[in-house]
A = this chain, B = another copy of it.
Amino acid sequence: MFESAELGHKVDKETYEREVPILREALLDAQYDLISQRGFQVVILVGGVDGAGRSECVQQLNAWLDPRHIETHGMGEMSDEERDRPPMWRFWRELPAKGKIGVFQGSWYSLPILHRVYGETSNAALAEAMERNVRFERMLSDEGALILKFWFHLSKAGQKKRLLALEKDPRTRWRVTERDWHHFKLYDRFARVCSQSLRVTGTAHAPWHIIEGADARYRELVFGRILLEAIRKRLDRPAPPVDTPAQPMAPAVDQLNLLRALDLTTSLPKAAYQQQLEAWQGRLNLLTRDKRFAKLSVACVFEGHDAAGKGGAIRRITGALDARRYQVIPIAAPSDEEKAQPYLWRFWRHIPRRGRLAMFDRSWYGRVLVERVEGFCAERDWRRAYREINEFEAQLVEHRVVLVKFWLSVSEEEQLKRFREREATGFKRYKITPDDWRNREKWPAYEQAVCDMVDKTSTEIAPWTLVPANDKYHARIQILKTLCERIEAGLRDRR
C-alpha cells in the first residue's frame, strides 16, 4: 500500500520554482471554472501520518487558490451539539456546496481508525465503519461530488526523523506534542489498521492518493497536480451518462395494493375523540418529561395525500409538547442553498439533538414520491434513493433517534370534497393551489410510488404506519397512540 511512498521521492528547488507558477495558474483557472459552472463540489480529505505535512499542504492550497471559495475544516474533538447527533452529522453540515472546495483535515476515517488502534473497538466494527464510508462516498459521488482522498505517508524512520527535526527547531517545537510521540510508538499498529482501512475503501470513483511526505517540495507538487488533473478532467467531462437499471418495479397483476387494501371507513365519534385526545396528549407529555428521554430523540415523518390532514395531526402532537423541545419542519421546494447539496443534506441539517423532537411535514421521501412521479430526478437517482434512505435511517436509529413514519391516506372522493371545501372557505384558500389539482390527475402514479416506498423502506428498524385518514379524529388518535408506543419502546431500550 505504502511502497511507493517510502522511496525517498524528492524535487529539487529549481524544478519546484519552475513548476509551481505553472501549476498555480492552472489551478486558479480550474477553480474559477468550477465556481462559474457550479456543476459539482470538490470534497478533499487529508489524512495520513503525523508530521507528514498534512497541514502544510492545506495551507499551501489556501495560498495557491482563491481562499474565499475554499472551506477548511479541522475536524477535532466533537462539540456537544455534534455528540448529540449521529456521528456523520458533523460532516454533513460542513459539506461544500456546488462550486466550492471543502477540505477536511480529519474525516470520517479518523475516529474509526483511532478507536481501533487504541483497541477500543473490534476489527468487525472497523470493517463496518469503512463500509459505511464507502456507501457515503458512493452516494456523494452519485450526487455529483468529486471526492479526493489524500494520504500523506512517512516510513517509521522517516516519521522519527521528522518529529526530531521539528522539535529541534525553536520555531516548530510547539508542533510536536506528547500525543505525537505516543502515536509514533504505535506506528506499526497504525500502519496495519490504516492499510486495512485504505485497502477496503479505495474505490474507482474515490481512490486513495498516497503521497510520500518527507520532502516538502515533492509532496506539494504531487498534491497540486493530482488536484488539478482531477478537477480539470471532471470539468471537461461531458455530462455523466445515465445508466438506468434494467430492473422492473412490481408489476400490477391484480387490482390489489397496499393503499387500496386500507379500510378507510374506520372512524371515531367526536366525544370519544375529545376524551382520547386528552388522554394521549397527557401521556405524550409525560413521556417527554421522563428523565430517560434525555438519551433519545424523536423524528416523525408525515407523508400523505394532499389534504389528508398532516398539518392538523402535527398540531395535535405539538399541542402536548413544551415549545422548547420540538421543531416542525415544513418541506417545500428546496432553496438554492439546498439545491447545491446532495438531496439528503436538507434533512440532515434538521436532525434533532438528544431530548428533542422534530416533526417533518413531508420529508426525504419526496425523492421517491414527487421527484419520481414528476420526473424531477432521473430514474437511476430515485432508484438508488431507497437504499440511501434506509442507510440514513439506520444511522438515526443507531443513534437512538425514535423514527416514526406516517402515511395519511384518503380516498379520491374524500380529497375532492376537502379541496372544494378549501376553495370555498376564505381562511383555507391558501391551502389549495393549482399544483394540488394537477397532482390529483396523477393519482395512480402516486399510488404506485407510495406502495413501492412502503415496500422498500418499511423496515424492522423504521416501519411505516399507514393511517386511514378519511376520518380525521380516528387518524389523529392512531398517530398519537403510535407515537407514544414507539417512544415507550425507545425508553425501555437499554443501550
Contacts and interface: CB of A to CB of B under 8 A. Distances in A.
Contacts of A451: 4
Contacts of A7: 256-258, 261
Contacts of A8: 256
Nearest to A459: B199
A458 B207 contact: no
Interface in A234-268: 234, 237, 240-248, 250-251, 253-254, 256-258, 261
A148 B210 CA distance: 38
A146 to B, nearest CB: 6
A190 to B, nearest CB: 12
A456 B202 contact: yes
A1 interface: yes
* Most chain B CB atoms below 10 A, which of A10, A456, A459: A456
A237 B203 CA distance: 27
A315 interface: no
A383 interface: yes
Nearest to A251: B225
Contact of A226 (B234, B251, B257): B251
A122 B207 CA distance: 31
Copy number in the complex reads 2
A435 interface: no
A195 B459 contact: yes
* Size category of the binding interface on chain A: 35 or more
Interface string A273-291: 0000000000000000000
A251 B191 CA distance: 24
Nearest to A234: B246
A150 to B, nearest CB: 11
Contact of A258 (B3, B124, B383, B461): B3
A228 to B, nearest CB: 9
A128 B203 CA distance: 18
A230 interface: yes
Interface stretch (A160-168, A297-305, A384-392, A439-447): A384-392
A171 to B, nearest CB: 27
A83 interface: no
Interface string A347-385: 000000000000000000000000000000000100110
B251 A1 contact: no
A11 to B, nearest CB: 6
A322 B2 CA distance: 37
A3 B204 CA distance: 37
B241 A237 contact: no
A125 interface: yes
Contacts of A222: 250-251, 253
Interface string A36-57: 0000000000000000000000
7 contacts: A11-B253, A200-B390, A200-B394, A204-B380, A210-B455, A226-B250, A230-B246
For the complex of A and B, list the 6 residue pairs with the smallest distance between their C-beta atoms, beginning with the closest.
A241-B241, A234-B246, A229-B248, A204-B383, A233-B246, A124-B124
Interface of A: 1-5, 7-11, 122, 124-125, 127-128, 131, 146, 148, 191-192, 195-196, 199-200, 202-207, 209-210, 218, 221-222, 225-226, 229-230, 233-234, 237, 240-248, 250-251, 253-254, 256-258, 261, 380, 383-384, 386-387, 390-391, 394, 451, 454-456, 458-461, 464
